[in-house]
């Protein structure tokens, strides 16, 4: 198989090829699907191959090797190992209880592959967010066409080479190209579309899927707030938050987007955050030379961050921590803004960079009101020792998930569903939830004995009496 591009092969032909093979793929056994997962696992165990990934990601946005290992390779491998371990159990028919009105029957759920899936992956964690959903597409018995981001060309080329080596094109194919390729793919009648990206593009994907009534999983984002109560362990939380905000230079869908700190603790938090940055990146005044600090992906995103930053300053925000920006390097330093107001653009858009607005609140109800004035976030972060405060925040806000007294952990447990709500996403995945996302849950009822014929027409008085009894005693 050769790397597939729109110039090399017609998309409709490729789609038809996978569509024809999909029934055979759907009928694979657990051992056959596990063999495909093992291909991925052996690939990730190959140090030479993974060095190639590290080199590609350094070329795309100067990502440190340890960060690639932690946030890309280790995550995908953990998904693949978990799916391999659990797949036989996931694939078994799941028996459910039967109501007395259906006495004589048994009922169960059979998980069948949806068919041909489309995975559109983003640039910020290109390997992780391409291969993690692929694990579940394969576990559920689907074929897959992958469209990675064109903004990370070196990593996309690496993944194209990997897919070519690991799978025949009727099983998995990767197509490189710009947004026009995604547009062309979205015109095809896929059975399921898995998209990771912005809410704006997510709406386009959902509209395209609706034309074919295709199911979707939309992993989006939004402004994930980090609430810090007066009872919180400020030093520890600020240190962990600094790591979460600067990982991948803040270009993470679950990164803490802004802080809501109890008013009396604002200055303490800002100082603790400053100390946290110094612990993570010693001699932070020369951070531009630090090999552990990533870069903004491209000039356009750099300028977008600059626009948000300058708009906030023009409307009264103050820079409590910052440094010199470097456009040629696409370098944005960890920046803390205080004296924020909600009319600033930076409080409307997902930041996706190492800029941290800090707002204050005087009561839990005020913090909740600030959060509720925005679309529902992907993740809610709560920092507190006061259990009543924690519960109040959980009860009065809505988010895809929540992390208490730490940051960035929502993607870490494959036994938990991951995904947003409304503007931050539709559908969940990871672990069994990822298997279900790519499966049709077929409901099956089997008659073993008995009958409902006593309630068939003609509706005599006897039938009416039986129905009345059923309604009174059983329903």
Task: Tell me what the mean pLDDT of segment 142-160 comes to.
Answer: 98
Span 4-220+424-442: which CATH code? 3.40.605.10
User: pTM for the full model?
Assistant: 0.94
pLDDT of residue 3: 44
pLDDT of residue 470: 84
Residue 350: active-site member: no
Instruction: Indicate whether 392 pLDDT > 80.
Output: yes
**148 vs 130: CA distance, rounded Å:** 7
Q: Work out the mean pLDDT of the chain and round it to a whole number.
A: 95
Task: Tell me what the mean pLDDT of segment 129-141 comes to.
Answer: 98
Instruction: Map tokens 């909600």 to a residue.
Output: 342
**85 vs 89: CA distance, rounded Å:** 9
Helix (H) or strand (E) holding 237: helix 234-246
Among the options 219, 246, 294, 350, which is catalytic? 219
Residues 380, 397: contact at Cβ < 8 Å? Answer: yes
159-212 confidence digits (pLDDT tens) = 999 999 999 999 999 999 999 999 999 999 999 999 999 999 999 999 999 999
**Confidence class for position 156, pLDDT limits 50, 70, 90:** very high
Q: Which two tokens stand for residue 91?
A: 């694939």
Fold exhibited by the domain 225-413 = Aldehyde Dehydrogenase; Chain A, domain 2 (3.40.309)
Among the options 72, 176, 246, 253, which is catalytic? 253
Domains 4-220+424-442 and 225-413 belong to one CATH topology: no
CA distance readout (Å), 102 to 105, 368, 443, 470, 475 = 6, 46, 14, 12, 12
Backbone torsions φ then ψ of 149, nearest 5 degrees:
-75, 145
Residues 380, 399: contact at Cβ < 8 Å? Answer: yes
Burial of 160 (0-12, 13-18, 19+ CB in 10 A): buried
pLDDT of residue 117: 98
Domain parsing of the chain, residue ranges: 4-220+424-442, 225-413
**Confidence class for position 458, pLDDT limits 50, 70, 90:** very high
CA distance readout (Å), 256 to 223, 313, 319, 357, 449 = 8, 20, 18, 10, 57
Residue 253: active-site member: yes
Instruction: Indicate whether 420 pLDDT > 90.
Output: yes
pLDDT of residue 7: 45
């Amino acid at each position: 198989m050769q790397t597939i591009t729109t110039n090399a092969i017609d998309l409709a032909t490729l789609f038809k090829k996978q569509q024809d093979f999909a029934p055979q793929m759907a009928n694979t056994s657990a051992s056959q699907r596990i063999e495909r997962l093992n291909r991925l696992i052996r690939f990730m165990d190959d140090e030479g191959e993974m060095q190639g990934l590290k080199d590609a990601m350094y070329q795309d946005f100067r990502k440190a090797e340890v960060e690639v290992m932690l946030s890309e390779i280790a995550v995908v491998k953990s998904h693949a190992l978990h799916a391999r371990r659990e797949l036989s159990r996931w694939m078994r028919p799941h028996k459910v209880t039967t109501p007395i009105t259906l006495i004589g029957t048994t009922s169960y759920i059979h998980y069948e592959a949806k068919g041909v899936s489309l995975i559109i992956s983003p640039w910020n964690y290109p390997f992780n967010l391409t291969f993690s959903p692929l694990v579940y597409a394969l576990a559920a018995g689907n074929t897959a066409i992958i469209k990675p981001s064109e903004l990370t060309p070196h990593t996309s080329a690496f993944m194209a080479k990997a897919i070519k080596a690991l799978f025949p094109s009727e099983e998995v194919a990767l197509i490189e190209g710009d947004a026009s390729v995604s547009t062309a793919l979205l015109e095809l009648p896929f059975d399921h579309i898995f998209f990771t990206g912005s809410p704006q593009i997510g709406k386009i994907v959902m509209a395209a899927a609706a034309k074919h009534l295709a199911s979707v999983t939309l992993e989006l984002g939004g402004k994930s707030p980090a609430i810090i109560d007066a009872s919180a362990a400020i030093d520890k939380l600020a240190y962990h938050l600094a790591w979460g905000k600067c990982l991948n230079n803040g270009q993470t869908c679950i990164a803490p987007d802004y802080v809501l700190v109890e008013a009396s603790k604002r200055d303490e938090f800002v100082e603790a955050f400053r100390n946290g940055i110094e612990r993570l990146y010693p001699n932070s005044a020369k951070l531009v030379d630090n090999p552990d600090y990533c870069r903004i992906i491209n000039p356009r995103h750099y300028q977008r961050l600059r626009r948000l930053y300058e708009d906030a300053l023009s409307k009264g925000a103050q820079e409590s921590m910052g440094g010199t920006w470097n456009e040629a390097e696409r370098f944005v330093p960890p920046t803390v803004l205080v004296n924020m107001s909600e009319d600033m653009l930076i409080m409307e858009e997902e930041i996706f960079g190492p800029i941290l607005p800090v707002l204050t609140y005087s009561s839990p109800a005020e913090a909740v009101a600030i959060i509720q004035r925005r679309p529902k976030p992907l993740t809610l972060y709560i920092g507190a020792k006061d259990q009543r405060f924690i519960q109040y925040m959980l009860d009065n806000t809505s988010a895809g998930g929540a992390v208490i007294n730490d940051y960035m952990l929502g993607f870490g447990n494959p036994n938990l569903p991951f995904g947003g709500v409304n503007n931050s996403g539709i559908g969940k995945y990871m672990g069994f939830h990822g298997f279900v996302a790519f499966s049709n849950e077929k409901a099956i009822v089997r008659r073993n004995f008995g009958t409902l014929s006593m309630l068939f027409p003609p509706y005599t008085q006897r039938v009416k009496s039986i129905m009345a009894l059923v309604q009174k005693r059983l329903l």
